[in-house]
Chain A
């Protein structure tokens, strides 16, 4: 699920060159919408997720149309600050629209676990991992093989040239924002059963997803996914064998140290700025 959130961030970064700090809170918002629909109407999980996806797409569209598109003249820092502002708006809106009580989201597969040696893996965890891999793989195929994927990649490599070549870069950008929203929503739905649905439950996901991008490098689409799985595995390992309280902090520090050795990430290329 970190991989999905990280994919959303990288999609937005590559197409509109905005560091998407609001990925977590947008995911939280539509994730809360899922929980709201589920708890209030008693609709099945899949239907709620569909509603959540609709909310996420609408949010992505709204944000791009109302804000990001009008920021052409603002600096990169200005755009990042705007995503910070978006975090606050979504955090403020969620309790007003969906109520302040924490909600619960059930697992897609309620119980049962797979035992491999000493470790055990719940079927739900397995489903999440498989879904994550499948969605990531699907996205890659789309990026590499389809016309839309080509348009996204062209926009990512150079927006101006892409526009000159007749690619509707605006539509690509809006698509990226909507896709990022859906990915964030899915990540929220996957992580929700482990905690309660409150406005801040996606903070860790946001941090980890950003770190996955850093670890994997911002230049490729697959780097962040790789980074996310590495972080998840390493995090579990540290929490199990070193300290359940301090494992996470230790992991973050390790990644910071890793930046000293490979500043551009695992599969990153050197970043050159043209003058």
Chain B
């Protein structure tokens, strides 16, 4: 009896089980939508939130551990989306090849950009990715054969393992992808790579002296970020069934930065919450407010002000707020909490 209890307890404490349960809970949403308890538009919003959570997870790894900013997220995501559409619809190679293309090609481009820009100073990556994003955006508008230009690329739900997918199934795929990404991120952070990244974060010079190849690990973090962006782009296309160049602009990249900052650096669940706050709250709440709900620029101001306020007052993001709350609620772990706080304080400097 007691052994099964501890086994169950251990199982419950295993973070991977937590991610799986989180995914299972999300899986109930299409059922709710199907039974009419939830509006389909709400399901779409949640779906896009989860897609953005995947992208933000990649940027969180990059920003949270190596302190690098990528402003090219939207470009890489758009590239993933167009590649998926091109491979699936124009070349007719099916779902899996489409996903593979959306994963590999943006990552390769990302690595090339990283190799060029990371050698000098961290900030060059932000400038280089900003540029790449502008180049990609122009390409999306101009390369008619590839993207159908500003008229937008139309696609349709994929056929997976012989099954014609519908909205609910694609939503399910998004959830599975998100859970896999959460697990992968968890493993990266807690593995040997994660230790190297942690060491870099504390002191780049010290890590270098200990034999950590700083450039390689920065490049790795950036590659993962572009990989996730490509994946999210493909999922976006399969979920919406179309893609327009105007989607992949600078605001999207900035919004992803906002998700990471608001959710809390180096926090996996925080990133999902951040994606929800930045994307779903304007969509579900702000647009329905009287008078100011119609103002076009409101979501931008909302995200922008949130970024500034969070950086100024809560450097740990919503996760920091959560931690403070938990510490006040339970004083059962008096040792680890101050240690955590002290570490965070060091990190904030």
Contacts and interface: CB of A to CB of B under 8 A. Distances in A.
Q: Tell me, yes or no, whether A binds B.
A: yes
A87 B311 CA distance: 15
B76 to A, nearest CB: 16
A73 B348 CA distance: 8
Contacts of B139: 249
Contacts of B261: 81
A92 B304 contact: yes
Contacts of B71: 21, 84
Contact of B296 (A95, A207, A255): A95
Interface string B106-130: 0000000100110111111011101
B299 A92 contact: yes
A236 interface: no
Given A70-B312, A207-B130, A75 B67 contact: yes
A147 B117 CA distance: 37
A88 B254 contact: yes
A95 B297 contact: yes
B120 A88 contact: no
Interface string A67-82: 1001101110110111
A77 B130 CA distance: 16
B123 A19 contact: yes
A252 B131 contact: yes
B138 to A, nearest CB: 6
B230 interface: no
Interface of B: 63, 67, 69, 71, 113, 116-117, 119-124, 126-128, 130-132, 134-135, 138-139, 142, 205, 249-251, 254, 257-258, 261, 295-308, 311-312, 315, 348-349
Contacts of B298: 92
Interface in A218-232: none
Contacts of B123: 19, 80
B130 A210 contact: yes
Given A85-B258, A88-B258, A259 B116 contact: yes
Contacts of B142: 245-246
Interface in A242-257: 245-246, 248-249, 252-253, 255-257
Interface residues of A, number: 51
Contacts, number: 139
A256 B312 contact: no
A252 B135 contact: yes
A264 B124 CA distance: 10
Contact of A88 (B63, B67, B296, B301): B301
Nearest to A253: B135
Cβ-closest 3 pairs across A and B: A88-B304, A85-B307, A92-B297
Nearest to B133: A207
A120 to B, nearest CB: 26
Given A77-B69, A207-B134, A259 B120 contact: yes
B134 A264 contact: no
A173 B138 CA distance: 36
Interface in A187-209: 199-200, 203-204, 207
B134 A87 contact: no
B288 to A, nearest CB: 18
Name which of A199, A200, A210, A271 has the most chain B CB atoms within 10 A of its CB.
A210
Nearest to A67: B308
A210 B299 contact: no
A249 B297 contact: no
A226 B157 CA distance: 51
A148 interface: no
Nearest to A94: B297
A89 interface: yes
A71 B311 contact: yes
Contact of B311 (A82, A90, A200): A82
Contacts of A271: 120-121
A154 interface: no
Given A78-B315, A275-B205, A256 B131 contact: yes
A84 B257 contact: yes
A245 B142 CA distance: 8
Contacts of A245: 142
